[in-house]
């Protein structure tokens, strides 16, 4: 059982929904992002999604694209991102960490070397948005053999014919992208999300966490009421971009987490 599996089991026993937060590793710099990351569990975050900066983030909107650029300009790399996770683990050996990004940096490092380094750093799961199920042998299957969850994205265009393929070899949870388009481009609507969550739960047998288009405590609660949890990224990253203090960023995160946990 991974930390992700254990977290969902604990939340289920408590009758609570999950709150997942996304931050970009190295944004605006290594020390600040590590400081924010260390404060997330105390702000109510159940699972941390740690963004891996990449030069061509095709699924991300301007907010996260710019965060990645700031991180890359500050010298952030895949190895430094894993160093950041390992530094977090020195103080927290319980909160799950999901590394979210694109395959190119992993391919460049080498899959075997990456998986060994990720396990050592305390990474629990991967979301690699540009590796479809047809490429499972590339990273998905080796990652699961190494004890990491491989988390897949489902979208409003994932029809009943495609869904079983998406669900195959997926573990930990399914990330439901609530809108068509890039991150930060529209708002999620609970009425639209609810039937899709039910459909994905039945097909996968896994918790379904909803992301994209969640940016307020009220929206966080509304989406969590119809899903197993909610993830917020762009709204948090935008606070960091504006120069909010770590304390203010974490206060905002707590308001979102409180919304999800009130569902």
- Residues serving a catalytic function are 49, 60
Between CA 111 and CA 166, with CA 67 as vertex, the angle to 5 degrees is: 45
Give the C-alpha separation, 150 to 123, whole Å.
Answer: 11
**Token representation of residue 136:** 């499972």
What are the residues whose beta carbons fall under 8 Å from the beta carbon of 107, sequence distance 6 or more? Answer: none
Q: What is the C-alpha R_g of the chain?
A: 17
| Number of DSSP helices (H) and strands (E) in the chain, helices first | 12, 9
């Amino acid at each position: 059982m991974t930390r992700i599996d254990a977290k969902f089991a604990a939340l289920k026993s408590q009758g609570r929904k999950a709150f997942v937060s996304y931050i970009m590793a190295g944004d605006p710099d290594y020390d600040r992002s590590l400081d924010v990351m260390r404060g997330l569990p105390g702000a109510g975050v159940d699972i941390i999604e740690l963004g891996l900066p990449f030069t061509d983030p095709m699924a991300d909107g301007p907010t996260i694209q710019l965060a990645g650029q700031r991180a890359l300009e500050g010298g952030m790399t895949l190895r430094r991102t894993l160093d950041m996770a390992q530094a977090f683990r020195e103080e927290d050996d319980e909160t799950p960490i999901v590394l979210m990004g694109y395959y190119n940096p992993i391919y460049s490092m080498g899959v075997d070397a990456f998986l060994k380094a990720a396990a050592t750093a305390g990474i629990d799961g991967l979301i690699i948005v540009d590796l479809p199920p047809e490429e499972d042998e590339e990273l998905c299957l080796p990652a699961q053999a190494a004890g990491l969850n491989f988390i897949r994205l489902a979208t409003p265009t994932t029809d009943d014919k495609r869904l079983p393929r998406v669900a195959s070899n997926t573990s930990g949870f399914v990330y439901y992208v609530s809108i068509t388009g890039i991150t930060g481009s529209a708002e999620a609507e609970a009425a639209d999300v609810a039937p899709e969550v039910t459909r994905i739960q039945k097909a996968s047998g896994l918790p379904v966490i909803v992301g994209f288009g969640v940016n307020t405590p009220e929206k966080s609660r509304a989406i969590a009421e119809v899903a197993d949890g909610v993830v917020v990224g762009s709204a948090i990253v935008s606070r960091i971009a504006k120069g909010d203090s770590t304390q203010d960023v974490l206060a905002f995160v707590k308001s979102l987490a409180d919304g999800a946990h009130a569902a």
